[in-house]
Amino acid sequence: MKLFLITALTMMAFASNSILNRMALDGGHIDPSSFAAVRIVAGVIALGVMLAVRREKLPLWEKSRILGALSLAAYMIGFSLAYDSLDAGLGALILFGVVQVALFIYGAIRGEIPTQRELIGASIAFIGLLIALWPSEDSVATISSTALMVIAGLGWAAYTLAGRGSQNPLASTAANFLFAMPLLLLLLIGQTLNISVTGVVLAVLAGAITSGMGYALWYWVLPQIGPSTAAVVQLSVPIIAIVAGAVLLGEVISISVIVAAGFVVGGIGLAVTKRSVQVGRT
């Protein structure tokens, strides 16, 4: 039950990143590069304070640090720039669709062959993604924004894999944020910046709360689930983002999106309950 609740809280934090980012950019409160920069700085500060309170040191030189920092930077850069035009829900669908494919492929290559139940559940969920992403007259996705979100998805998949062996989720997350920060600050060079108090507040919330604390929780969850399950579970994020985007940002929920949500949630339920079913049979 504890694992379920923390996983659910983490998924809500991930969805909140999409909402906060889109809210800041669509409202003209801040430019994408500044949002990404403020977000990473806020995350570093918040995580650093938490580590100081707990009197823990940063694990700066672990083997996974380079991959963790580079993948985090790729995710945050692609994520912020893509949301300059993508709706919150659509962006989340592209992001975690890419994550699902990448993690399933990685798991298969490493010999973690998904069970029949996982494959069926993942297939149902992926059909839901295809329905949601099917081109329509009111589609707002552009080639460039979609490509940027694909890069973000690949970055997040790599970041997820880098965190599987973390012994101290909070410290590892803080170290990744610290090493990724210079890369995101480079985005500000030569840019025409647009920063307001509202934009900074939204970016700080995204960096300190839904990113910093959310990613620390994710690193706590990862060692307890496999790559395939991690991929499928994250497909709940687009659904949360779609609903929140409609309520908070006025984004339209079409019939196709409702149908897609049913497929995604159903597929997730089928895939992630496999262990409870197996336990009941033993």
Q: Is the pTM of this model over 0.85?
A: no
Rounded Cα distance, 195 and 106, in Å: 39
Handedness of CA 279, 239, 80, 199 (dihedral sign): negative
The domain tally of the chain equals: 1
Residue 51 domain boundaries? 2-281
Residue closest to 145 by CA, chosen among 71, 85, 187, 89? 85
DSSP 72-92: HHHHHHHHHHHTTTS-HHHHH
Q: pLDDT truncated to tens, each residue of the chain (282 aa)? A: 788 888 889 999 999 999 999 999 988 999 999 999 999 999 999 989 888 888 888 878 777 788 989 999 999 999 999 998 888 888 888 888 788 778 778 877 888 777 788 788 878 877 877 776 666 555 555 678 888 999 999 998 998 888 777 778 888 888 999 999 999 998 888 778 889 999 999 999 999 999 888 888 888 888 887 666 776 787 788 888 988 999 999 887 778 778 877 887 787 777 766 544 443 333
HSE-CB at 256 with a 13 A cutoff on CA atoms is 15
Handedness of CA 220, 226, 231, 232 (dihedral sign): negative
